[in-house]
Amino acid sequence: MQRLVIEGDTKISGEIKVQGAKNSALPLLAATILGKTGSVLHNCPMLSDVFAACRILSYLGCKCVREGDSVIVDTANLTHFEVPDELMREMRSSIVFLGAILGRLGRCRLSFPGGCELGPRPIDMHISSLKQMGVIIKEEHGFLDCSIPKELKGAAISLSFPSVGATENIMLAAVLANGDTEIRNAAREPEIMDLADFLNACGAKISGQGGSTIYITGVKELGGCEYSVMPDRIVAATYMGAAAITNGELSLQQIRPRDLDAVTPIFEEMGCSVYPYADRIFINAKRPLKAVKTIRTMPYPGFPTDVQAIIMACLCKARGTSVIVENIFENRFKHAGELRRMGADIKIESKVAVIEGVPKLYGAQVQATDLRGGAALVLAALSAEGVTSISEIKHIDRGYEFIENSFNKIGAKIKRV
């Protein structure tokens, strides 16, 4: 079992390039199978979740090779339509393979993804949308057996909530369906736009991405393309949080500042100066942090749930009382208990967290409870007095490329043991 051992009282400063986005790379890898030849994804982050997606592709019959930061997927010999249970369990988001496998092969069998560390994660919207497109879905013994007796057909689908995964699955199934599909109340996340841009580069006809209604006209077949995965806005926010909590200053490179429009004002409210320009953001946090008004997590373009834990870590050391309302996931405050072990003053009541800033956090033995919660503990540890040991770091490795290497380049003292 590996751990991160982090010396506290450090100051984060310097320049850092931000990795490619996990939450874009995963649907893009699934999308490659819709083309009959294959695609090359550049800026594809080296993460355990990306390796898990490549294992699924290999199982399905594709060849998946990494060269530097690129992943080359050859889909010519894709034959299998089943994803085994052990591969599904490695990564909850493997459900996004459902739409892609159905689009390419017209049949798919995979196990029900079930709950995860963020609470129950139903896929009812994925299922009902695909049913509207002519897919017959049988749920038995924890498996979803999906087939298309006639044809995959376009449909007008209204989502009751702008689910990222459901929007992706509908898009993946619709690009090769017969006729037009309209997704109303679609997710607007930048990762959705990345998926649409990739599919269009392969020959799909998608428009409206980034807005609440996405239009897709089915085409007969798709080819492949070379595509660069968008920068990871959540990792960028994590670096900003590291600069903020250590009163440091940092220049983030190769990012898209507009993707962080809901996050930047929160850092400014905490007292940081933030300067976005072109593909960079500079953050100067050389002042004590201040509490902020209530933060509510929302679908994009609102404040992202994935940055909630990061900001909570910073607010632990901000002067005054802050409130965070988590509206997206039922169980996304587990990190609060671990932050308390480090001296934080946080009270949780259902989906509301009240954070009373404290002057100091202290090194402790803590456990990463999930991916972003784990990153929040790294931030708290950087600013704490003494040494922190973080276990269960497999969660962190799902989304941060060698976190100790990148943070050590900007002033951290982190060892993996």
Q: Give the residues lining the site for ligand EPU (CB under 6 A).
A: 23, 26, 93, 121-126, 161, 163-166, 187, 305-306, 328-329, 371-372, 399
Cα(183)–Cα(212) distance, integer angstroms = 8
Q: How far apart are CA 169 and CA 159, in angstroms?
A: 12
What is the distance in angstroms between the CA of the first residue and the CA of the last residue of the chain?
9
Report how far apart, in Å, the C-alpha atoms of 190 and of each of 66, 302, 307 are.
Answer: 25, 12, 15
Please give the Cα distance from 145 to 167 (Å, whole number): 20
Whether 116 is catalytic: yes
Q: How far is the CB of 277 from ligand EPU (least distance, A)?
A: 26
Looking at the Cβ atoms of 3 and 398, the one nearer to ligand EPU is: 398
Query: What is the rounded distance in angstroms from the CA atom of residue 7 to the CA atom of residue 54?
Result: 35
Give dist(CA 366, CA 79) in Å, integer: 44
| Least Cβ distance, residue 358 to ligand EPU (angstroms) | 26
3 state SS of 241: helix
Helices (H) and strands (E) in the chain, counts: 14, 24
Shortest Cβ distance from residue 390 to ligand EPU (Å)? 17
Q: By C-beta, is 120 or 320 nearer to ligand EPU?
A: 120
The closest residue (CB) to ligand EPU is 165
Q: Which is nearer to ligand EPU, 249 or 306 (CB)?
A: 306
Q: Which is nearer to ligand EPU, 125 or 272 (CB)?
A: 125
The total of other beta-carbon atoms located within 10 Å of residue 294's CB is: 10
Nearer Cβ to ligand EPU (306/404): 306
Q: Which of 62, 64, 116, 202 is catalytic?
A: 116
Which residue stretches of 20-161 are H helix?
22-31, 48-60, 85-90, 97-105, 124-132
**Is 272 or 307 the residue whose CB approaches ligand EPU more closely?**
307
Task: Kindly state the smallest distance separating residue 207's Cβ from ligand EPU, in Å.
Answer: 21
Contacts of 154 (CB under 8 A, 6+ apart): 133, 174, 177, 178, 179, 180, 181, 216, 217, 218
**Min. distance of Cβ 93 from ligand EPU in angstroms?**
3
Closest distance of CB 368 from ligand EPU, Å: 12
User: How are beta strands 63-67 and 38-42 bridged, if at all?
Assistant: unpaired
Tokens at residue 134, please?
A: 């002519």
Alpha helices, DSSP H only, in 68-160?
A: 85-90, 97-105, 124-132
Minimum gap (Å) between residue 145 Cβ and ligand EPU? 18
What does the alpha-carbon distance between residue 191 and residue 301 come to, in Å, rounded to a whole number?
A: 12
Which residues have a catalytic role annotated? 116
